[in-house]
Amino acid sequence: MGSASFMKKAQALLRIRNQLARECLAELLSVFVLMLINLGGAAQMVTTSETKGNYFSSYLAGALAIMVAVHTGGGVSGAHLNPAFSFAVCLLEQFPWWKFPIYVAVQTLGSFIAAAAVYVLYYDAIWHYSNGTLTTSGPRETASIFATYPADYVSIANGFLDQVISTGMLILGVLAIMDTRNKPVPKGLEPVAVALLVLAIEVSMGSNCGCPMNPARDFGPRLFTYMAGWGAEVFRWVEGRGQGG
């Protein structure tokens, strides 16, 4: 009896009643879950020289991470997960503009924290694989675990077009899936449909730039690598570096 009463008091004390705070925490947790699985798949692929993972397994991890992330915070924040999607729904007047910078900041923070968590999780593997040197290029580079980099042949213009098309396809697909006037996805399976959409885009448009499609997904971890020792090269377009996962 006393234990149950204590638990109720603790729950009441810890309960967050401010709606914006609840949405921010839900979005933060959703993006963290998304990126933890996403970057973990890339880390496993890179640090084992593709003996325990490959590009398809990395893409699959990223797609399934979308499903888990939407289930995690969709009921509270809408699980935007992506500044590009938040921007799109603002343009469609389905989301208030004043919340847009708040969501972008929270999404970027969630990605940054997830990158730090993956770095800790794969710390020994990263340092073993890289021979003790954190680099952004060469046969033992590890920066592509955290952020995406263009293939050798991709120009800046082609890279920009690549991201416009793939991100546009993502937003179009999500809006079509969520449109109640469209042929509906069975209730409760929307996250699965979005995950399959992401997987389809990744396996068809991922070779040029690694298919980030999400500014927060790319910038947050890239900023982490800059601060963690990879240096300013993570923000430079360098020919011959190759794409990330």
How wide is the angle at C-alpha 142 spanned by C-alphas 156 and 79, nearest 5°? 70
pLDDT grade for 243, boundaries at 50, 70 and 90: very low
The structure tokens 């990223």 sit at 62
How far, in Å, CA of 225 to CA of 54, rounded? 22
The answer to whether residue 4 is domain-embedded is no
The answer to whether residue 169 is domain-embedded is yes
The boundaries of the domain holding residue 185 are 20-235
For the segment 5-63, what is each residue's pLDDT rounded down to a tens digit? 766 655 655 567 788 999 999 999 999 999 999 999 999 999 999 999 898 999 999 99
CB of 142 closer than 8 Å to CB of 125: no
Tokens of 178: 């969520």
How far, in Å, CA of 64 to CA of 193, rounded? 10
Looking at residues 97-123, what average pLDDT do you find? 96
The answer to whether residue 65 is domain-embedded is yes
pLDDT at 155: 87
pLDDT at 12: 59
The answer to whether residue 15 is domain-embedded is no
Could you tell me which residues come within 8 angstroms of residue 35 by beta carbon, excluding any fewer than 6 positions away? Answer: 65, 110, 111, 114, 115, 118, 217, 220, 221
Looking at residues 154-179, what average pLDDT do you find? 91
In the chain, the percentage of residues whose pLDDT exceeds 70 is 90
The answer to whether residue 9 is domain-embedded is no
Tokens of 170: 């993502």
Could you tell me which residues come within 8 angstroms of residue 76 by beta carbon, excluding any fewer than 6 positions away? Answer: 22, 23, 25, 26
119: domain CATH number is: 1.20.1080.10
For the segment 139-149, what is each residue's pLDDT rounded down to a tens digit? 899 999 999 88
- pTM, entire model: 0.89
Does the structure show a pLDDT above 60 at 87? yes
The answer to whether residue 57 is domain-embedded is yes
> What's the number of domains the chain is made of?
1
For the segment 212-226, what is each residue's pLDDT rounded down to a tens digit? 889 998 999 999 999
What mean pLDDT, rounded, does the chain reach? 88
The answer to whether residue 242 is domain-embedded is no
How far, in Å, CA of 109 to CA of 103, rounded? 10
